[in-house]
Amino acid sequence: GDSVTQTEGLVTLTKGLPVMLNCTYQTTYSPFLFWYVQHLNEAPKLLLKSSTDNKRTEHQGFYATLHKSSSSFHLQKSSVQLSDSALYFCALSGTSGGNYKPTFGKGTSLVVHP
């Protein structure tokens, strides 16, 4: 079945530094990849999505590029802010053959210090 692997556990950074959260996936279908962000005591919200190979997608200063050759969709930001402290989930869905079941990674906690 489908699977998503993320950077494990906790990433701690100082404000202003760049960040990259890793996401790799396995699927036999054409993939649609997502990043969701969940702030403390809030619902997850969609941050980015893409199904286009080698095209960068951006939102709220975050960006990611789907690379089908390496099955990766890493999340990056050039300068993190305190408000970026949250739980980040990478997710995958198939786009054909009726395989639309979303599969999530276990999540990566990002903590940004002053």
Contact residues for another protein (CB under 8 A)? 32, 34, 42-46, 49, 51, 89, 91, 93, 95, 100-107
Nearest approach, Cβ of residue 9 and another protein (Å): 10
CA count, 13 A, side-chain hemisphere, 102: 10
Strand pairing report for 3-6 and 56-59: unpaired
Nearer to another protein, 15 or 38 (CB): 38
Nearest distance from C-beta of residue 94 to another protein, angstroms? 9
Between 9 and 114, name the residue whose CB sits nearer to another protein. Answer: 9
The distance of closest approach from Cβ of residue 14 to another protein in the complex, given in angstroms and rounded to an integer, is 25
For residue 15 the two structure tokens come to 């404000």
Give dist(CA 102, CA 89) in Å, integer: 12
d(CA 65, CA 10): 22
Cβ closest to another protein, residue 62 vs residue 107: 107
